[in-house]
Structure 1
Amino acid sequence: MCGLVGYAGFADCVPQGTEHTSLKEMTETLACRGPDASAVWAEDAAGLGHTRLATVDLVGGRQPMLLARDGRTVLAVAFTGEVYNHARLRGELTALGHRFTTRSDSEVVLHAIAAWGEQAPARLDGMFAYAAWEPDARRLTLARDRFGIKPLSYTRIRDAVVFGSEPKAVLAHPAVGTRLELDGLRELLLSAQPMIKTPGRSAFAGLNEVAAGTVVTVTPQGARTHRYWSLTPVEHCDDLPTTIARVRQLLQEAVTGQLAADVPVSVLLSGGLDSSAIAALARPAAGTLHTLSVDVGSRASSEDAMGRDPDGPYAEMMVGHLGSAHRRVRLAAGTLADPAHRARVGRLRDGLTLGDFDTSLLQLYRAVREDFPVTLAGDGADELFGGYRWFTPRAATAESFPWDSVLGRADLTRLLDPALAAALDLPAHRAELHRTACTEIEHLPGTTPAEAALRRDSYLNLTRFLPCLLDRADRLSMGVGLEVRVPFLDHRLVEYVFNAPWGFKTFDGREKSLLRAAVTDLLPEPVLARRKSPYPMVRDPAYRTALAGQVERLLADAGPATDLLDTTAVRSLLLEATGADRFPREGLELVLDLDQWLRTHRPTLHL
């Protein structure tokens, strides 16, 4: 997997003599992303840093990687992620005259950029981000995979660009300031509740993200952005049986391809349809199939917006069915409420957390990493196949993000200072984000209004909701040096399923009909029939008590967040938390997370 940092531009982008030191400091912020190796390269007005988690060609894939001609560097690249078709691309590039000295996908990316320039990302199958510097042209190219699975941030400083896998790496450059403005606070709040990620934006003023499926090219003449991939409508000509068979084929190819590694690989197994499908498809190629699940002692509750039943029995059923070597990771409520764990998650995410939803996932990833540098997960299946309860005709026709009907009910702005809440005007901002997102969606001629609405629902989930979950998975997994691969986001599978008629996706009267039909011969009937059950959240009263106590101490100590909060409203929330009927976890967690974020980043406020 790995992390990358760098700068490019003119020599006066920072005071003379500090460039190399800055590069090392930036690289060190990403040490957890690459525990196996670290290196920097600098020449004239550019520098690259890289930390490596070795999964393919453990010896030969070291970076930054250089291409030289006549003893002079003509291309320098820092790459993160995995390219699953690197063997085929190596053959194509060899035929074009390129010569390779390693088996790594990193060297394939180096030569792909040399051969195809800005068109290289469109030829890469996988999850990736890279920075490429061409000294002769003084050209910097930043690129990101189709779904933004791997992160990449950048900022302009006068005539230079500073970039890195995570905001913290960019902010470590001495010429980059940490500034919070109203738009940044909007992004910070909405990306956590109700989970809306705006492509290209971050919480920090002046700090951008390379958007998914996008190439950013910077030269002395200026910057240019090129979108090389997007979800576009294509006529679906296959009948239902053919579609089911094609989904099975594409998913099998994705799972098999993503098992390839020179290190041990595992599969996260909850006992739900998505993870069970991946595990079953992985078994023939995996040799000994290793699976892991998590138990946080949750129970079904009216507090849970989506409802759930315990994973344990279903996971154990799948273990028996597949014969996998399984480990069940048990987490205690007390550890999930530990402020140190929350602070760790906040630092990793550079943003607000999702409470125990995040702290438990970090601990699960840490347990996985004890034995496996790589694991496969089911992220993206619900967004692609229509697994959430908000995939309904009514929600799809609403003039708001579909998940607002389930996740957007808690009005957390009531906890903010009234003047600040008015200035933010989050309802109007959300409405504008929705309008903007809807303008991106295309429909084929003759598409019915109902089909168009559901296709729009799918697009919004894949481009605005899923990125929040991918960002979460990347930051927390890389926080322990674990690579999480996501077969459901193979772009060929996504393109095919996205364009299938919605009636195919619900042909048996249930959610995710296509996926269920595609793997029906592989799974036990109870797993196939199981209703959607989201990732578990703790229901232990001790967790509620711990959160309330931490908020009380924050108010008593007048933490930095109190300047942005309506402390009277927060005290009312504490009274609400003492009741037996409802646990206002989102509000308590917002208060704690906002305070932690301000303590960590210490931004200058311009609100």
Structure 2
Amino acid sequence: MCGITGWVDFERDMSGAQGVLRDMADTMACRGPDAQGYWTGTHIGFGHRRLAVIDLEGGVQPMTVEQDGRTLVAVTYSGEVYNYRELRTELRALGHRFHTESDTEVVLHAYLQWGAAVADKLNGMFAFGIWDARSEELVLVRDRLGVKPLYYYPTGRGLLFGSEAKTILAHPEVRPIVDREGLRELLAGVKTPEHAIFHGMKELRPGHLLRLGRAGLRIQRYWALEAREHTDDVDTTVRTVRELLEDIIERQLIADVPLCTLLSGGLDSSAVTALASRSLAQRGGGPVRSFSVDFAGNERDFAANVVHNSPDAPFAAEMAGHVAADHTNLVLSLEELADPRTRAMVPKAYDSPAALLGDGYASLYLLFRAIRERSTVALSGEAADELFGGYVWFHAPELRDTNNFPWVAAGYDLMPMLSGLLDPGLIAELDIEGYRAQRYAEALAEVPVLPGEDATERRIREVSYLSITRFVPFLLDRKDRMSMAVGLEVRVPFCDHRLVEYTFNVPWSMKSFDGREKSLLRAASRDLLPTSIVKRKKSAYPISHDPRYDAALRAEFDRLAADPSAPVHSLVDHAGIRQHGARRQETNGWPSRTGLEFMVQLNSWLATHELKI
């Protein structure tokens, strides 16, 4: 998977820049625990931290192609290209010679052959920087769905880039400043493309590439969702979805290191696990390895709510038995989950507070840490709900037809949970509702139109587009940061752009043809799954239902709020705390602990990043 960084300065000789590049790359040591490398040209420096997954010996980076003792191109690369074997065969036929078995070398030669159009050729999750010494141009490329992160920071003389914000912040010319716009983005529950939390920093938009030369910087789009007429009938559509998933899983099982699946016992992860199990068996491999997460006492404490309707453990166990998986159910103790050191890992890895999904970040980190002891790569079911219409906001008209981001209407809204916790003057100044309205209008204006669609189909297309481009990124960021914090690569089969393009244009009447959520995925995987899982209603990623966790969290927040030296102290609504006390509330069925999680993480973030707000 790896972590990448780079520095371009057209007014500087970069031959002595390795010390700064090392400092930048060291911030991502967890992303690349296996090796580190650096390369400099006249005006360019690359850094790399490697997590070795394919061609463990040959895939050393940064990688270059040279001719007559002169570097033609160099690359620092993160991710996986799943069609690299076919591309290597094609490039060999065109005269290219390869010295390794790595996908990195294929990407480099593909650039030599096709230039920036290389992006169109790649199937996978990737973020990379290529320096073309022939033209003194930097090309940054990010995958179509944004599975792999890529930040950049223009400097006037060039730019800095990296896999994480902290990498750029490690440069001596960059100050960690969060302005009003950054705070709005942090609190609004909207992942606005290109926007980053830190002042002056940007995130390269998925499906885009950046070109930087002496003439300046320009951004090019190479992929976007398009509206097309869907002409397949239901049976053909189901069969196509199945064939795509089989091909995707087959490709994503390629690795030279131990691999597993994340298995919650829901439809999405069960389909991935079943297809992986079948593929491994067909190639003579051992049983699929799978992992799930649970909480001590959950059978006693679990209480169904609007997003958690059933505990995962029984379904995960049944699915694991169904495919004879080598399954591990990680049971987290209250002590592990409530440990302030565990909670502090979230903003450290995320480079911002990340509490919208409650303790789901910390538990995911603990799960990934345990998985990393046995596997280096994991397959996950992320994005199936957005593709196939699994969320409640696809089905409930009052949520689907809201003049707002539908997940906000459904309760994924941090602001009500911060009432009585965060300074009301700051909340009023930020005007989050106005910010959301602006971003919502911008997002709607992007949605492709298919002439002749009725109002319902048109709205579903809008909701699908919003979910894929503004909500999926939250989930992908969470999965990337928490997994890479322990050096685990997580692959997301449902983010294959071929499947995304196909399902985006399937009409809603077909996506819900059996009257249930995710009709197409259920039909395409029914023969692989136990009946109980085929019939199971969607349940969100699990959280602890132990009331002692809430008590421990409240105690930690109360301590910070009362401590004048705590960074968060000046941002706390002290009057609100005195008025409302620490009572537990419910906001649309989502525990109000989310607000407390945010405030505690906010304190850690302010402390570790030495921020100026």
Q: TM-score, normalised by structure 1?
A: 0.96
Q: Could you report, residue by residue, the CA deviation over 1:319-351 in whole angstroms, capped at 9, with x for unpaired residues? A: 221111111111012211111111111100101
Alignment of 1:381-400 (within 5 A): 381-392=384-395, 393-400=397-404
Corresponding residue to 1:577 among 584, 589, 600: 584
Corresponding residue to 2:79 among 78, 81, 101: 81
Secondary structure of 1:576 counterpart:
coil
Alignment of 1:297-376 (within 5 A): 297=296, 298=298, 304-354=305-355, 355-376=358-379
- Asked if residue 498 in structure 1 is aligned to residue 501 in structure 2, the reply is no
Alignment of 1:462-541 (within 5 A): 462-541=468-547
Whole-angstrom CA distance in 2 between matches of 1:305 and 1:598 = 33
Whole-angstrom CA distance in 2 between matches of 1:243 and 1:17 = 56
Secondary structure of 1:330 counterpart:
strand
- Asked if residue 296 in structure 1 is aligned to residue 304 in structure 2, the reply is no
Q: Could you report, residue by residue, the CA deviation over 1:516-554 in whole angstroms, capped at 9, with x for unpaired residues? A: 000111111111000001111011111111111111110
Deviates more, 1:142-151 or 1:325-334: 325-334
Alignment of 1:41-440 (within 5 A): 41-190=39-188, 195-286=189-280, 287-288=285-286, 289-297=288-296, 298=298, 304-354=305-355, 355-392=358-395, 393-408=397-412, 411-412=416-417, 414=419, 415-440=421-446
Give identity over the alignment, percent. 46
Cα drift, residue 575 of structure 1: 2.8
- Asked if residue 549 in structure 1 is aligned to residue 555 in structure 2, the reply is yes
What letter matches 2:311 in structure 1? P
What letter matches 1:290 in structure 2? R
Whole-angstrom CA distance in 2 between matches of 1:463 and 1:359 = 25
Cα drift, residue 418 of structure 1: 2.8
**Which residue of structure 2 aligns with residue 603 of structure 1?**
611
What letter matches 1:384 in structure 2? L
Contact 1:153 1:165 in 2 (8 A): yes
Q: Could you report, residue by residue, the CA deviation over 1:395-451 in whole angstroms, capped at 9, with x for unpaired residues? A: 232110111122245514533323322221000101111110000001111011110
Whole-angstrom CA distance in 2 between matches of 1:378 and 1:221 = 43
Corresponding residue to 1:23 among 21, 24, 30: 21
What letter matches 1:407 in structure 2? G
Cα drift, residue 308 of structure 1: 2.3
Whole-angstrom CA distance in 1 between matches of 2:360 and 2:590 = 18
What RMSD in Å do the two structures reach over aligned CA positions? Answer: 1.8
Contact 1:301 1:307 in 2 (8 A): no
Contact 1:303 1:582 in 2 (8 A): no
What letter matches 1:446 in structure 2? G
Corresponding residue to 1:567 among 558, 566, 574: 574
Q: TM-score, normalised by structure 2?
A: 0.95
Q: Could you report, residue by residue, the CA deviation over 1:166-185 in whole angstroms, capped at 9, with x for unpaired residues? A: 00001101111111100011
Gap change, CA 1:209 and 1:322, over 3 Å in 2: same
What letter matches 2:494 in structure 1? F
Whole-angstrom CA distance in 2 between matches of 1:219 and 1:67 = 20
Secondary structure of 1:555 counterpart:
helix
What letter matches 2:402 in structure 1? A
Whole-angstrom CA distance in 2 between matches of 1:64 and 1:285 = 33
Q: Please list every run of 5 or more consecutive structure 1 residues that lacks an aligned counterpart in the other structure.
A: none
**Which residue of structure 1 aligns with residue 5 of structure 2?**
5
Number of residue pairs aligned between Structure 1 and Structure 2: 598
What letter matches 1:8 in structure 2? V
Gap change, CA 1:521 and 1:19, over 3 Å in 2: same
Gap change, CA 1:583 and 1:520, over 3 Å in 2: closer
Secondary structure of 1:407 counterpart:
coil
What letter matches 1:47 in structure 2? G
Contact 1:296 1:360 in 2 (8 A): no
Whole-angstrom CA distance in 2 between matches of 1:464 and 1:516 = 25
Secondary structure of 1:62 counterpart:
coil
Q: Could you report, residue by residue, the CA deviation over 1:218-268 in whole angstroms, capped at 9, with x for unpaired residues? A: 111111000111111111110000000000000111111100111111111
Secondary structure of 1:577 counterpart:
coil
Cα drift, residue 571 of structure 1: 4.0
What letter matches 1:376 in structure 2? L
Whole-angstrom CA distance in 1 between matches of 2:291 and 2:314 = 13
Gap change, CA 1:582 and 1:137, over 3 Å in 2: closer
Secondary structure of 1:32 counterpart:
coil
Whole-angstrom CA distance in 1 between matches of 2:456 and 2:585 = 45
What letter matches 1:281 in structure 2? L
Secondary structure of 1:56 counterpart:
coil
Q: Please list every run of 5 or more consecutive structure 2 residues that lacks an aligned counterpart in the other structure.
A: none
Contact 1:376 1:484 in 2 (8 A): yes
What letter matches 1:503 in structure 2? S
Secondary structure of 2:394 counterpart:
coil
Gap change, CA 1:378 and 1:180, over 3 Å in 2: same
Secondary structure of 2:460 counterpart:
helix
What letter matches 2:277 in structure 1? R
Whole-angstrom CA distance in 2 between matches of 1:253 and 1:582 = 37
Whole-angstrom CA distance in 2 between matches of 1:158 and 1:307 = 49
What letter matches 1:599 in structure 2? A
Q: Could you report, residue by residue, the CA deviation over 1:183-240 in whole angstroms, capped at 9, with x for unpaired residues? A: 01111223xxxx3211111110001011101101111111100011111111111000
